[in-house]
A and B are shown apart, each in its own frame.
Chain A
Amino acid sequence: MQNSPVPPLLRLEGLSKSFGPVHALSDVDLTIRAGEVTALCGDNGAGKSVLIKCISGIFTPDAGTLYWNGKPESISTPKDANELGIQTVYQDLALADNLDIVQNMFLGRELTRHLALDEDSMERQAAATLASLSVTTVRSIRQPVASLSGGQRQAVAVAKAVMWNSKLVIMDEPTAALGVAQTAMVLKLVTQLASRGLAVILISHNLNDVFSVANSIAVLYLGTLAAHEPASSLTRQKVVELMTAGTLHHGIPQEERDHGSA
């Protein structure tokens, strides 16, 4: 994977982060490429959240370097991350229920004309972004977010994230609270982002979801990177093993099945 002459979009080298005596992340190397979905797996407490918070500027790593397009960068605030083109869609989505879709997508970055809000331009851009993501099931983009289904809300949150010239979208458990049809729609959205040339980091507990969209899978185990392999070279069984044991015991695949229907 390293023989490409173009530097990867994001490369983490030796990333470490401790909270007092707890080593949340130790010496993690990870490469994220544009146009690919990288799934981040790991058991609770494996360090997934800490890792994405280091990338999105909420935590500052204790050690390690972050290369953005081959250049070392330091991200110390969420704003730094946004300026590089990193957007994070958190599990709670951070949408204001009382505002409509357009208002939410432009929240904090409203377009104005002579001090007044330029509703028309915002509505046009929001509609174009939603259309480019093939989000076509909303009745009106002027309806309050409160009236949307879970999948539609997720779609609005993703559209909000990609509208700002983003290059990397991090999604934290986007399908955790969704039904079957809505999950399918969100996964379609994830592949769509990658096919637009964005890099996507997908955090998920659901291995069905991971295997249906991910190009590569990174597994964290107790703060270390247990593996980062193309999805085609892994199986569900192996990922579960990596998540629970941190290594692969090649000899005994059948017995390990008890560990996880995660």
Chain B
Amino acid sequence: MAVHSTTPRTPEHEVAPQPGNPTSPADATFGSYAHDTWRKIITGESGVLPVVVGLIVIGILFQTANNNFLSPGNIVNLLVQGSVFMLLAMGEVFALLLGEIDLSIGFVAGISGIIAAELVKGTIGWPVWLALLIALLAATAIGAIQGTIITRLGLPSFVVTLAGLLAWQGVMLMILGNGGTLPINNAFFNGIANASIPPLWGWLIMGIAVALYALLIWSREHRRRSSGLVAPPSSITWLKIAGIAAAGIALLLIANANRGILFPIEGLPWVVLLVLGVLALWSVLLGRTAYGRYVYAVGGNAEAARRAGIGLANIRTIAFACSGFTAGIAGIVYASRLQSVSTNLDGGQLVLYAVAAAVIGGTSLFGGHGKALHAVLGGIVIAAIYNGMGLLGLSAALQYVVTALVLLAAVTVDSLARRGRAA
């Protein structure tokens, strides 16, 4: 029993039932915190280390091959290219956390883009906000219906969402006609993925976001420290805040540099802010609410969750609805970036990239482990490979092979980490 005890065991009569952790000292030092963090990383608990290392390696490789890769213009381009992957992958995380899969989200995204594009086109002419809202509602409803079929009829999510993949592709072809294209002429709609935030506004928004994050994290950890709970030392808190501020400043410096060739283009694309907003929303939902806790519990041990009185069917159905909703946002971004929706949209490939992005980012295929952040990081990796190999003039065929190898590597890391946890 003394396997983990590094502190001497306290005789039972000396342990009074009082608040505070029974073993760890509340005032953890910088060193012990760093040690714990390292332990988490090597046991695969933190999840993000492999992908961050991978991103650095990819950055160095492509930069040495083509020194345009890390230019501000290309980085911004890469983030915009990757936004659809990141959003779809965030949707997929909900399914993966439950130990399920959602294969339909690529074409659900397509349906969402089509609905929005149809509603804003000249002959119908609905206000753009209403069109986008209805597209998102439709995508959410599709997710909810598929989730209901999966949970109430007890069918495997693989089969139900595979049927969804086929069905929604069919519906898309029906609406667009064979080889059809639906152009979008609405400036706001097209601006989502193509317009940028004016540089000054960008600084203002980033400043407010960083300040809010700093306030939240500082007040939380300060409260924990002052109430005697285990909390990282204040140096770590400041380090986290400094890290986020540095990341924000770096992003804005890159985005606000002039990347135009014929005429100046500067500013952070709105879509990056949209991705960060969705990331914040899902991070809060999964990490800070009872619903999010239940998603992890169901993915980790469904029987334990059931005995704890958690309604499994509802949790699962809502997760598929969230997956559909996120796919709906991705579809709107996709349509906005191309300023049209066409039958070229390959939802089958998109969903495979989404699953790959989530897993590359550190989300487990076996359920119970994953975060929205993983989807964003994995989406950047996929976009970087896509973009970097395009810059080098390598063929699409080679891009597929490299993406496959990265995916295999990620799944291997996931599987090894899982074994490490079980041991």
Closest CB in chain B relative to A64 CB, distance in Å: 25
Contact in complex: A107, B305 (CB < 8 Å): yes
Contacting B at CB under 8 A, from A110-160, are 110, 112, 115-117, 120, 123-124, 127-132, 134-142, 144, 146-149, 151-152
Looking at the complex, which one of A92, A128, A151 makes contact with B1 (CB distance below 8 Å)? Answer: A151
Contact in complex: A131, B22 (CB < 8 Å): yes
Question: Given known contacts A103-B293, A132-B17, A138-B4, is B229 in contact with A124 (CB within 8 Å)?
Answer: yes
Q: Within 8 Å CB of A78, what residues of B?
A: 307
CA distance A98 to B300 in the complex (A): 6
Closest CB in chain A relative to B178 CB, distance in Å: 47
How many residue pairs bridge A and B at CB < 8 Å? 142
Contact in complex: A149, B4 (CB < 8 Å): yes
Q: What residue of chain A has the Cβ atom nearest to residue B3's Cβ?
A: A149
Interface flag for A181 (CB, 8 Å): yes
Question: Given known contacts A99-B300, A182-B1, is B23 in contact with A112 (CB within 8 Å)?
Answer: no
Interface flag for A176 (CB, 8 Å): no
Interface 0/1 of B285-310, CB less than 8 Å to A: 00011100110110111011101111
Closest CB in chain B relative to A134 CB, distance in Å: 4
Contact in complex: A98, B1 (CB < 8 Å): no
CA distance A5 to B242 in the complex (A): 68
Interface flag for B24 (CB, 8 Å): yes
Contacting B at CB under 8 A, from A76-124, are 78-79, 90, 92, 94-99, 103-104, 107-110, 112, 115-117, 120, 123-124
Looking at the complex, which one of A98, A109, A127 makes contact with B19 (CB distance below 8 Å)? Answer: A127
Looking at the complex, which one of B18, B36, B224, B304 makes contact with A128 (CB distance below 8 Å)? Answer: B18
Q: What residue of chain B has the Cβ atom nearest to residue A108's Cβ?
A: B308
Q: What residue of chain A has the Cβ atom nearest to residue B364's Cβ?
A: A98
Q: Within 8 Å CB of B296, what residues of A?
A: 96, 98-99, 103
Stretch at the interface among B8-16, B52-60, B256-264: B8-16
Q: Within 8 Å CB of B5, what residues of A?
A: 136-137, 139
Question: Given known contacts A107-B304, A147-B421, is B22 in contact with A123 (CB within 8 Å)?
Answer: no
Question: Given known contacts A117-B288, A139-B23, A149-B4, is B45 in contact with A144 (CB within 8 Å)?
Answer: yes
Contact in complex: A139, B4 (CB < 8 Å): yes
Contact in complex: B17, A96 (CB < 8 Å): no
Interface flag for B227 (CB, 8 Å): yes
Closest CB in chain A relative to B367 CB, distance in Å: 8
Interface flag for B230 (CB, 8 Å): yes
Contacting A at CB under 8 A, from B5-58, are 5-6, 9-10, 12, 15-24, 36, 43, 45
Q: Within 8 Å CB of A28, what residues of B?
A: none
Interface flag for A185 (CB, 8 Å): yes
Closest CB in chain A relative to B284 CB, distance in Å: 8
Contact in complex: B421, A117 (CB < 8 Å): no
Contact in complex: A131, B16 (CB < 8 Å): yes
Looking at the complex, which one of B3, B16, B229, B305 makes contact with A108 (CB distance below 8 Å)? Answer: B305
Question: Given known contacts A95-B301, A115-B289, A120-B223, is B22 in contact with A138 (CB within 8 Å)?
Answer: yes
Looking at the complex, which one of B12, B22, B229, B284 makes contact with A120 (CB distance below 8 Å)? Answer: B229
Q: Which of A103, A135, A144, A184 has the most CB of B within 10 A?
A: A144
Question: Given known contacts A117-B288, A136-B22, is B301 in contact with A128 (CB within 8 Å)?
Answer: no
Q: List 10 A-B contacts (CB under 8 A).
A: A97-B301, A98-B369, A99-B296, A103-B296, A123-B230, A131-B15, A131-B17, A137-B4, A146-B421, A147-B43
List chain B positions with a Cβ less than 8 A from chain A.
1-6, 9-10, 12, 15-24, 36, 43, 45, 223-224, 227, 229-230, 284, 288-290, 293-294, 296-297, 299-301, 303-305, 307-310, 368-369, 421-422
